[in-house]
Chain A
Amino acid sequence: METRELNCIVCPMGCPITVTLENGEVTSVTGNTCPRGEKYAKQEVVAPIRSVTSTVKVLGGEWPTVACKTKTEIPKGKIFEVMDALKGVSVDAPVNIGDVIIENVAGTNVNIIATSNVKAC
């Protein structure tokens, strides 16, 4: 039997959570205040996932960058591959929130979408 101590990162409460595992299978989750914490803990001990937020260059915009994010979480181990894929990418203004900037980034099946508006100038 193995126990893991985590802090839930789903919401700002940051509940301390204890997970017990037996042969790699989660047998109990305690300390979470709500069901989202249990879901997080089960995912975190088996295959942690994260969202990535960053910026890419904008050409001809009122700002030189536009904010972007992975539309959903990606495997934690892929964070830097995603960042590498963003390097050297530029988009033309105008850019609107929700615009797809990169499809299937770093083979994650997740798109990079814009999270700010940049007007052309």
Chain B
Amino acid sequence: MLNYDLVIIGGGPAGLAAAISAKDNGIDSILILERDKELGGILNQCIHNGFGLHTFKEELTGPEYAERFIKEVLGRKIEYKLNTMVMDLGKDKTVTAMNREDGLIQIKAKAVILAMGCRERSRGALNIPGFRPAGIYSAGTAQRLVNREGFMPGKEVVILGSGDIGLIMARRMTLEGAKVKVVAELMPYSGGLKRNIVQCLDDFGIPLKLRHTVVDIEGRDRVKAVTIAEVDENNKPIKGTEERYECDTLLLSCGLLPENELSRSAGVDLSPVTSGPIVNDSLETNIPGIFACGNVLHVHDLVDYVSKESTTAGENAAKYILSFNENDSPDRVVKINTENGVRYSVPAFVRPDKMADNLTVRFRVGNVYKNVNLCVYANDTLLQKLPKKIMAPGEMEQIILIKNKLNEVSDLNTITIKIEEA
């Protein structure tokens, strides 16, 4: 059995930022475990730019952004193991992993940071019966094939779902000579960023059809054509609105889902809304010493926020390791309620006595809201009212909770974040 103060599962942007910050906060015994053959996570296949605008004030591509963090990790001589798959995580923070050189390894950690990222929602999104010919890919798989393997999956493409990866791939495949015929989106709004609609669809005249879904796929061995139709308010296809597109490829871009099999096996409580762990203001799960950050916690559209969040997780894990005392009494916690269109918040709980002076709370809304107020209440007292011109489900929002303000409220028992009419 190996012993480390801190084991970080996943060497993507979340794991890297968490490792750097834990080291800078006084932890020397750190091990990053990554199942891939390189550090950097999914960013290695995201070759488009737009990363790091907030952190570095310049527009980087995914691999360039990752490289900045990898350099910092190497510079600090933080240990990592590649090609190493974590198989199990125990309540007692025993990590079981496997690789070719060491075989099965067991590591006892004082603290663990979950940074496993997310995976794409699968074909279940495709709600039509029948067999599946070749030529159907998730957008992320297509991204890896084109950008890393140098292989174009097809020439004529229909995309279902308007998440950012789908939009980015519409442009990428167009640039490589494919004809992207249409992007169909079930919802009345796109799940992707505005800038991606402009740069990836409008620039190339690719139509985006909202409230549309795929109703038929033709082809025995390979996709030959895809039919889409408009849907009614119950998301049922409307007869007579069918449009048939000849194509050899169908990309599915139907959102991302945090990857939490390991968390579950450790007994970490997961949120039914985000599918990620439920955490307090230090990003600690219900199991003391197990922290989470990045896409495993909740799906981020901006890697800058992943890095920020993960820096916080690293710092808090360091604090936990350095000050852990079994005899400490449990902390006082207050729940954050989310109402009126606010779907969830990360964190879901705060410790009013121990929280940061200015705590960033991140969340998403469930619909498109225009000219509304975003309000924060402590019990029934209105603490903050922020006018918002627009809020959309595709974009993560954040507010800052101020410790002093919260603690001025007597008998604080709930914090509520909600949207109100302006």
Contact = CB atoms under 8 A, between A and B. Distances in A.
A57 B218 CA distance: 34
A65 B61 contact: no
B61 A67 contact: yes
B53 A11 contact: yes
Contacts of A7: 194-195, 197-198
Interface string A63-78: 1110101000000100
B203 A50 contact: yes
A60 interface: no
Q: Which of B146, B193, B195 has the most CB of A within 10 A?
A: B195
A54 B175 CA distance: 8
Interface stretch (B43-51, B100-108, B206-214, B244-252): B43-51
Contact of B48 (A53, A76, A80): A53
Contacts of B194: 7, 9, 12, 14
B411 interface: no
B332 interface: no
A111 interface: no
B150 A57 contact: yes
B354 interface: no
A55 B195 contact: no
A69 B195 contact: no
B216 to A, nearest CB: 33
Contacts of B197: 7
B49 A50 contact: no
B420 interface: no
A76 B204 CA distance: 10
Contact of B150 (A51, A64, A80): A64
B36 interface: no
Contacts of B50: 12
A117 B395 contact: no
Given A55-B147, A83-B175, A50 B64 contact: no
Interface of A: 7-12, 14, 50-55, 57, 63-65, 67, 69, 76, 79-80, 83, 97, 115-117
Q: Which 4 A-B pairs rank lowest in CB-CB distance, beginning with the nearest? A: A14-B194, A116-B63, A67-B47, A9-B195
